[in-house]
Structure 1
């Protein structure tokens, strides 16, 4: 993991304008009020043998925590925020604002800060399904957490 590069990506996201439309960006995805950067992506687990998936998950969580320590030096300790409630509400048809609705479907929780810019900064570990890759995500949004 390249912490300096990841911090630079987060800094760029904090300074950028949000896209007017939902879609891909040079760093990942974005839309009105949010940007999501894919900082790291693992391989998939279709051919898994043994504990590779669990070890990869642990490594991605450790990488999130290491990057989070650097952000905590800037902005104080993170709030660990579960997205389970947002996921449950979204699956029951309740409207949950983006980026939280989509994140809740593949990120169980985020480490969350309010940056001096007034934007929320979150780090999360994503996995859409047990065979698919893990991703370390950085989210910068003006949308309050659900």
Structure 2
């Protein structure tokens, strides 16, 4: 992953307009109050014996840490926010709101910063829908407070 490019994408999300309706931008899913960027996506793991999965999980954790350090330089120490409770509420039929509800289905936890300039939240996390599917490093910018 190119950290400079990832930071440029996050900057674009921080200054971008939120769409009126749910959909996709060139960077990823978006909707009222949020923009998502799929910063890095791995290969899938259908034919893996587990070794490549472990290596890729470690690689994405390192990329999360590296990009997180740069965001910490900008906005200070992040909050570590578990999405497990949000996922449980969503499964029970509660509506914790987007982007948090859908994010909780495939991202166990995020690091959260608040931009001093815009007041928007910046969430950074690693997604994996299922063990055979790719990892993704995601950045979400939203004006919606975490639930």
Asked whether the two chains share a fold, i.e. TM above 0.5, the reply is: yes
Match of 2:119 in 1: 118
Match of 1:77 in 2: 77
Match of 1:137 in 2: 138
Give me the TM-score of the superposition, normalised by structure 2. 0.98
Aligned residues: 146
> Whole-Å Cα distance in 2 between the matches of residues 101 and 58 of structure 1?
26
Deviation at 1:26, TM superposition (A): 1.1
Aligned residue for 1:40, secondary structure, equals strand
Give me the TM-score of the superposition, normalised by structure 1. 0.98
> Whole-Å Cα distance in 2 between the matches of residues 137 and 50 of structure 1?
23
> Whole-Å Cα distance in 1 between the matches of residues 88 and 49 of structure 2?
32
Deviation at 1:49, TM superposition (A): 2.3
Aligned residue for 2:113, secondary structure, equals strand
Aligned residue for 1:47, secondary structure, equals coil
Root mean square deviation, CA, Å: 0.6
What 5-or-longer segments of structure 2 have no aligned partner?
none
What 5-or-longer segments of structure 1 have no aligned partner?
none
Q: Deviations over 1:104-138 (max 9, x none)?
A: 00000001000111000010000001100000000
